[in-house]
């Protein structure tokens, strides 16, 4: 419930920026909008991560020698065995690498609020044949 409330707080500014991004496709404006979208997304993920820590007994332990950079490029793979892989990956990698983007079925574009948010955040939509 609280995660849904966090989503309702963070989605309206993303949607407003999405409309501006779609209506005014000027490269310098889009770069500025994308920076704002990334900041909102990082906040959204950070609050969700805090909520997971505050309201669950779930703890994540990561051991790695890798030096990650927000300026780097990464391919992150998950076995997607449960719903939890996305929030865990976001929690562990938020602000350490560029925003995680997931391949989405093209039909998910039509999910109210989130579809437009995913589009604005440059998530790749794909058709399944």
CA–centroid distance for 114 within its chain: 10
Helix, strand, or coil (residue 94): coil
Helix, strand, or coil (residue 104): strand
Inter-residue contact 98 to 122 (CB < 8 Å): no
Sketch the domain layout of the chain as residue ranges. 2-58+73-126
Q: Output the CA–CA distances (angstroms, integers) from residue 56 to 1, 50, 51, 60, 79, in the order listed.
A: 13, 10, 8, 11, 23
- Per-run averaged pLDDT (10 residues), the chain, 129 residues: 86 95 91 96 95 88 89 88 87 95 94 91 93
With a threshold of 0.85, does the pTM exceed it? yes
Inter-residue contact 2 to 55 (CB < 8 Å): yes
């Amino acid at each position: 419930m609280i995660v849904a409330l966090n989503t309702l707080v963070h989605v309206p500014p993303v949607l407003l920026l999405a409309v501006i991004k779609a209506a005014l496709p000027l490269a310098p404006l889009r770069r500025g909008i994308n920076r704002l979208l990334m900041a909102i997304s990082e906040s959204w993920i950070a609050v969700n991560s805090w909520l997971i820590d505050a309201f669950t007994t779930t703890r994540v332990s990561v051991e790695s020698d890798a030096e990650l950079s927000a300026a780097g490029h990464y391919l992150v793979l998950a076995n997607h065995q449960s719903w939890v892989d996305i929030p865990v990956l976001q929690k562990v990698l938020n602000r350490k690498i560029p925003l995680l983007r997931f391949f989405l079925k093209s039909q998910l574009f039509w999910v109210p609020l989130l579809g437009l948010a995913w589009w604005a955040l440059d998530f790749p939509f794909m058709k399944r044949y």
